[in-house]
Amino acid sequence: MRVLFVASECYPYVKTGGLADVVAALPPALRRLGLDVRTLLPGFPGVLDRLEQFRRVRLLRDLPGLASGQTARLLSACGTDGVPLYILDAPSLFAREGNPYLGPDGRDWPDNALRYAALARAAALLARDGDGLITGRTSAATAADGRGWVPQILHGHDWQAGLLPVYAASLMPEVRPASVFTIHNLAFQGLFPPEMLGPLGLDPALMVPDGFEFYGKVGFMKAGLRFADRLTTVSPTYAAEIRGPELGFGLDGLLRQRADRLTGILNGVDLEQWNPATDSLITARYDAGTLDDKASNKLALQQRFGLRPDAAAPLFAVVSRLTEQKGIDLIVQCLPSILTGGGQLVVLGTGDPTLEAALAGAAGQSPDCCGLVRAYDEELSHLIQAGADLLLVPSRFEPCGLTQMYALRYGTLPLVSQVGGLADTVTDVTEASLADNSATGFVFSPVGAQPLQFAIDQALALWRRPALWRQVQRNGMGCDLGWAGSAARYAALYQELTGRPPRRRPSRPEGS
C-alpha cells in the first residue's frame, strides 16, 4: 500500500505544535505494518538544512505562486526513521526564516494561500506523474510507464493540504488515488479572499456553499472536508464535538452531513523520543520502578526557573501555546491559590501578549515559586515533563493534545479539562478509579475557573497522600500510549478505500 502524507510540519525539521509530532511518528508506525508511506513537505530552511543527500526527482511548473516559466524542484531524501521524504523546493515560497505561517511581524505571510496551494498541487502532480524513480519495489505497471512511485492514497493534514482532493480531481479527472483528510485543529481553516480563485487555478463553479466557499471566502479546510473521500480527526471525542455548533467553527453542518465518512483515531506518542528511562535531555533517568529518581529532575527544573528548591512543594507545569484555546487565562485566575496552597508553577511557552504579560507579572511578584520561560524550547520541554509533579492543560477545546500523554509517560499527573482528546486519555481520580487502578490524573468539567480550582484542590489533597500519588503515577506510566493501535486503524481505513475497484468519476469532485 503506497500512501503519500502531505503536511506543513514534521519534527525535527519544522514544528510549531502537535501536527509535527504526528507527521513524524505516524508514517514510521505505518511502515512497521508494511505500508509504503512517504511524506511531502515544503522546502523550508529547517528541512533542507537538516537533510544531507537529495535526489532531484522532477521539475514542476505551473504551481500557484510561481511566475510563468519559473520551476520548482521536487527532491527526494531519506528522513529520520527511514521514512522517504519528498520536498517541494521552491525558494520564492519557502526559503524564509522563522515560522511556517507567520512573518517576522507576527502576521500571516501575505502569500500563504499560494504557498500551501503549491504544496497541495505538487502532491497531486506527484500522484499523477509519479516520482520517475524505478526501483526493485516499483510496481510493474508504473515501472512500465516510467512513472516510478505513485501513491494509492493521498493523505492530507490540516488546512495547508485542504486543496489536495480538488487539485487531484482536476488533474486526474478519470482515475485517481483515494484521499484522506485529517483535521488536527478545526479552528485554523485557511480562509482567503475570493480574488485568489484565479491565482490558485481553482474552478469558480466550486466557489459555492456546497463547494469550498465559506462565508464569501475560499476555505482550504472546507475544501478538504467537502471533497476528501474519508475524514479523520485525532480523537473520538473531538470527532463527536466538531459535529456540534459549539466546536464546529461553522463547519459542523458539513461534518454532520459527512458524519459517516468521519472517524476519530486517537494520536499516539513516540515511545522512544518520550521515554524517561532513556531520555538524554533530562537530568536523571527513571522508570515506574525507580520513581524516586524523578526528584533530581524536579530539583534541576526548580534551579532552571530560579525557584526555591523544595521537594515537598507540588510543582505544577505548563508547556503550551499561551492562548485562550489552551485555557491559560484560567490558570492565571487560579494561580494565587496554587501559590497559597504551597505549590509552585513553571510555564514554557509563547503566545497572546496579554497572557504572557499576566504570567510574567506573576513570576516577577513571586520569583521563588513561579517562573516563565517565553520561548519554544524542545529540550526544556523534556525536563519539565520529567521534573514537574503536575501538568496543567485546561483547554477550552483540544483535538487530541499530546503534552498530557507525555506527562503520563513521565509520571507527571495531568490535570485537564474534559474535552476532546484530553477526555479520551486521562482518567479522573475518584474512589472507584483509585480502587481499580485506572486513575491517571484530574479531569474537570465544565471548562471554567471554578471547576479548575476545584480540581487543583483535589490534586493538592492527593499530594498529601504520597502512597496514593505514587500509585496514580504508576497507573499513568503503565498506559499503552504508543502508535501501534492507531496506525492499524489508519491502515484499515486505507484498505477499505483501496479494496474497491478503481474509481471512475466525473471531473467534478464528488457530489458537485
Residues forming contacts to ligand ADP in the complex (CB under 6 A) are 17-18, 21, 185, 319-321, 348-349, 376-378, 381, 400-403
Q: How many CB atoms lie within 10 A of CB 29?
A: 23
Q: Which is nearer to ligand ADP, 75 or 332 (CB)?
A: 332
- Least separation in angstroms between residue 108's CB and ligand ADP is 17
Q: Which three cell numbers stand for residue 385?
A: 515533563
Please, which residues have CB within 8 angstroms of residue 390's CB and are 6 or more apart in sequence?
Answer: 314, 315, 316, 317, 412, 413, 414, 415, 442, 459
- Least separation in angstroms between residue 494's CB and ligand ADP is 23
CA distance 176 to 191: 26
- Least separation in angstroms between residue 19's CB and ligand ADP is 6
CA distance 201 to 246: 34
With H, G, I as helix, E, B as strand and everything else as coil, classify residue 95.
coil
Q: CA nearest 392: which of 377, 375, 370?
A: 370
Given its phi and psi angles, is residue 401 left (phi above 0), alpha (psi -120 to 50 degrees) or beta? left
- Least separation in angstroms between residue 16's CB and ligand ADP is 7
Q: Which is nearer to ligand ADP, 50 or 321 (CB)?
A: 321
Q: Which is nearer to ligand ADP, 112 or 320 (CB)?
A: 320
Contact 416, 441 (CB under 8 A): yes
Q: Which is nearer to ligand ADP, 54 or 376 (CB)?
A: 376
Contact 262, 235 (CB under 8 A): no
Q: Which one-letter DSSP state was computed for residue 140?
A: H
- Least separation in angstroms between residue 404's CB and ligand ADP is 7
Q: Which is nearer to ligand ADP, 348 or 355 (CB)?
A: 348
CA distance 494 to 261: 13
Q: Which is nearer to ligand ADP, 36 or 324 (CB)?
A: 324
- Least separation in angstroms between residue 329's CB and ligand ADP is 16
Q: Which is nearer to ligand ADP, 121 or 326 (CB)?
A: 326
- Least separation in angstroms between residue 401's CB and ligand ADP is 4
Q: Which residue is nearest to ligand ADP (CB)?
A: 18
CA distance 129 to 137: 17
